[in-house]
Amino acid sequence: DYDKEASRLNIEVTPAAQEYRPGDTAVFNVKVSDPKGNGKQAEVLFSIVDEAYFALRDQKVNILEDIYNQTVSLGYLDGSIPHTNPLEDNDGFGVAEGGEGGDETPVRSDFKDTALFESVITDDEGKAQISVKLPDNLTKWRVTSIGLTDDLYAGNGTINIDTRLPYFINSVFNSRFITLDKPVIQIRSFGTAAVQGEKVNYTVSIKKDGQDWRNYSISSTIGERALAETGALEEGSYTYTITGRYKSYTDAVMLPFEVVQGFVEQPRTQYSELSENMNFPDVKWPVKIYFFNENVRSYWEDLLDLSYSWGERIDSIIVRKQARKLLQDYFDEDWQSYPKEYDLSVYQLSNGGIALLPYDSANPVLTAKISSLKDSSFDYKQVKDYFYRTLTNENAVSTDIAASYWGLAGLREPILPELSALLKSPNLKLIDKLYIGLAYADIGDLDTATDIYRETVDSYMKEDSLRAYIIEKGYDSDDTQEATSLCALLSQKIKAPERQKFFEFVSNMYGEDILTNAMRLAYIQSNLNNLNFKSSFVYELDGKKEKVTIDGKDTFCMFLTAKKLSQIRFSDIEGKIVTATVYKTPIGEISETDSRISITRTYSGKDDKVRKHMDTSEYIKVTLKVRFDQLAPTGYYMVEDYLPASLKYVSTWQTADKWIRESIRGWYPHVVGGQRVSFTIHRSDLKSREVTIEYFARAVNIGICTAESATVFNLDSNIINYTPREMVTVE
């Protein structure tokens, strides 16, 4: 085995001083040597990072192990990042930001986690020197060095230096607020020279958009907070400068904050056919645009889903069998490794009808749906005889009669006079009319089929920006899916403009007792021959033209700023290309909501009482309850909450508070960024249900602040709902 220790570099980093003041230039002397003490020329990478950062995510560096071991370390002790600093969570006051002590009062505003990330090459004796101007943080800095030579000697080392002051000030104030918030700037003084209880004077100067806005003079004592009330904030960009004077010491810090109309942005997706005169949404932020051949990718994804349908029911078997065949024929997917399916003839009973399971009885609705798929496994002469017997059966209900006529129409039987008579029958159900409409479409009378479809849509259709569905009074989820799946197939046969919306609804719903998958497959079958599997276009941007070709299910994506979105131009479009423009807009600009989903939010303390008034440093439980109606689409949902600027998210595993540890329900955020805390929910069935999410925050900023709307939205559509805004007071 190779002795990697023989290739270890010794790296000695010696600071010119062990302690610095903020803004000082720190100088480091470097000496690199091999295991025998001989100087080596090497490239040494330096990083100087605030130790407070490593409280969030610790770092372990061993470059020799990384080079000579078979496994490569990622350099971190764990793979997750907690979202709060335990050093700051103790009392709500950070320790890294502070000002300058001494006779002069330079204003400190350069607060950053990384002071240096730079490399230096040592000379032949292994010596070098590096210097850095330190930021204004009052903290302990971790100086990490990693060295490597051309002949793969390697090593690393770590030392610490401090930036300290005998007197400094610290403020607690958020960096982002909502208009009309009334926050309070909290100020304290610290330092080795500061004596508890002695007087300290502060001045606070606030500028808005570069102009003087408000000024304060406040007195307090060491160890006590001084409070500067801002009053109601207006939209704009601000800075606040605090100067503290204690005995002969002075100290000043300047920090920015902004005030916006609101935090919440609603995700939107705009679908359009690509043209030379595209009208994109008017946006302020960057957007993503996806280009794809119309329906090709969505049908491919649906066929993949159908090909994995499970179970021994006739609809499951025939759907996955035909879906795999279509994937082979149209998308070159290879299914040779899959076992041969069951003998489907055992599902056709002696009376000619088709049963759900071999030991079950046949029924006309199931037989008509399976017959529409035209699978070669069945004796269709027997199927026709079964339908005709149903028409003469005195006990047959109207839906069985209507479905039988549809089945006969698909088998090219001459049934037009009887079908016309049936359409005039009184008391037909909505579902009966849809079967009759399908029968008219299959015998070629598209005008009558369109009349039936349009009457249905005008009376019973509901839609959002992506999906449409059919619902009648008294319908449950299964009834709605059944009617919508039939309407989707009818709309495809007559090329109705709503057809894709109906299909999107059916594709994103799930029912255990209805045959929507058979209708999904029939819909795709009827449309595949009309698809365009290859397209191209030319776009012009920044004076350059580029040609893009889209093959089959491939997708082309562009990420554009708002300015470039307004400048891009398209030409030489071949084929039918659909664009999906994904962007965000403030929730106040588009306030459409969908009652199929709802969300509520409450704040409570350790006594479990709901409240909107809190004390500083108090832990608060935030409870979000999301309710899904039975017609809400399946799939993934995002829940986004926005804490008021007076609260700060607390990681449940990081805090030592027993109440939080014992009461958590196990929800972990998807993202925590600023005041935003988001979660994901997967809805896999169509039962009405309520999901409860709990997370925790701590009251750190005094004042009256806006609790922005909590939102829930479907990731595959523009379905959204949200809570009202409310005001939260921290005292």
Tens of pLDDT along 145-159?
999 999 989 999 999
Residue 655 confidence (pLDDT): 64
Which structure tokens are listed for 236? 């704009």
Q: CB-based burial of residue 619 (10 Å sphere; 0-12 exposed, 13-18 middle, 19+ buried)?
A: middle
Domain assignment present for residue 30? The answer is yes
- What pLDDT sits at residue 104? 57
- Of the candidates 239, 230, 228, the one whose C-alpha atom is nearest the C-alpha of residue 186 is 228
Task: CATH number of the domain at 269, please.
Answer: 2.60.120
Strand, coil or helix: 586? strand
The domain boundary, picked from 503, 528, 553, lies at 528
In a domain, 114, yes or no: yes
Same domain, 10 and 154: yes
Give 610-656 pLDDT, tens digit per residue.
999 999 989 999 999 999 988 888 888 989 999 999 999 988 766 66
Share the mean pLDDT of the chain.
Answer: 86
* Lookup: tokens for 282: 């008017």
- Helix, strand, coil % (nearest 5) of the chain? 25, 35, 40
* Average pLDDT for 265-294: 85
Per the CB < 8 A criterion, the answer to whether 698 and 584 are in contact is no
- Report yes or no on whether pTM surpasses 0.75: no
Measured CA to CA, the distance from residue 440 to residue 200 in angstroms comes to: 89
Same domain, 288 and 236: no
Question: Measuring CA to CA, how many Å separate 221 from each of 175, 201, 729?
Answer: 26, 8, 25
DSSP 3-state assignment of 669? coil
Q: Are residues 13 and 124 in the same domain?
A: yes
The residues pairing with 271 across neighbouring beta strands, listed in sequence order, are 580
Cβ(639)–Cβ(710) below 8 Å: yes
Q: Does 480 lie in the same domain as 362?
A: yes
| Domain limits for position 251 | 168-260
Which residue, 135, 163, 191, sits at the end of a domain? 163
CA separation for the pair 215, 213 (Å, rounded): 7
Rounded to 10 degrees, what is the CA torsion of 70, 76, 80, 86?
160
Burial of 284 (0-12, 13-18, 19+ CB in 10 A): exposed
Q: How confident is the model at residue 84 (pLDDT cuts 50, 70, 90)?
A: very low
What is the mean predicted confidence (pLDDT) over 463-479?
Answer: 85
For the stretch 331-373, pLDDT in tens is 877 655 445 556 788 899 999 999 988 888 999 999 999 999 8
CATH number of the domain enclosing 325? 1.50.10
638 and 622 together in one domain: yes
Is 592 inside any structural domain? no
- On whether both 352 and 433 belong to a single domain, the answer is yes
Q: Quick one: average pLDDT of 412-420? A: 93
Number of domains in the chain: 5
Specify whether 252 is located in the same domain as 186.
yes
Q: Compute the distance between CA of residue 200 and CA of residue 632 in angstroms, rounded to an integer.
A: 60
Residue 313 resides in a domain: yes
Banded model confidence at residue 61, pLDDT cuts 50, 70, 90: confident
- C-alpha 123/C-alpha 43 separation (Å) is 10
Among 80-94, 357-371, 432-446, which range has the highest average pLDDT?
432-446
* 249 and 344 together in one domain: no
Sheet holding 577-586, edge to edge: 265-273, 577-586, 287-293, 555-560
Per residue in 652-692, pLDDT (tens digit) is 766 667 777 666 666 788 888 889 999 999 887 666 688 99
Q: Which two tokens stand for residue 273?
A: 């056919």
Q: Over 90: is that where the pLDDT of 116 sits?
A: yes
Q: What is the pLDDT of residue 28?
A: 96
Tens digits of residue pLDDT in 686-712:
666 889 999 999 999 999 999 999 999
Determine the pLDDT at residue 309: 74
Residues 539 and 614 in one domain: no
Residues 6+ apart with CB under 8 A from 1: none
- Which residues, other chains included, contact 333 with Cβ-Cβ below 8 Å and sequence gap of 6+? 304, 324, 327
Do 519 and 447 share a domain, yes or no? Answer: yes
The token pair that represents 621 in the structure block: 């439980």
Q: What is the per-residue pLDDT across 128-181, written as a single tens digit (0 to 9) for each?
A: 999 999 999 999 999 999 999 999 899 999 999 999 999 999 999 999 999 999
Is residue 69 pLDDT above 90, yes or no?
Answer: no
Three-state secondary structure call for residue 241: strand
pLDDT cut 70: percent of the chain above it: 89
pLDDT tens readout for residues 217-257: 999 999 999 999 999 999 999 999 999 999 999 999 999 99
CATH number at residue 691: 2.60.40.740
d(CA 670, CA 523): 36
Give yes or no: residues 441 and 324 share one domain: yes
Indicate whether 214 and 132 sit together in one domain: no
> Of 304-313, 586-595, 620-629, which range is least confident?
586-595
Cα–Cα nearest to 194, from 219, 220, 161, 168 = 168
Work out the average pLDDT over 544-551.
94
**Which position has the higher pLDDT, 489 or 685?**
489
Which residue stretches of 587-706 are H helix?
Answer: 658-663
pLDDT, residue 96, reads 41
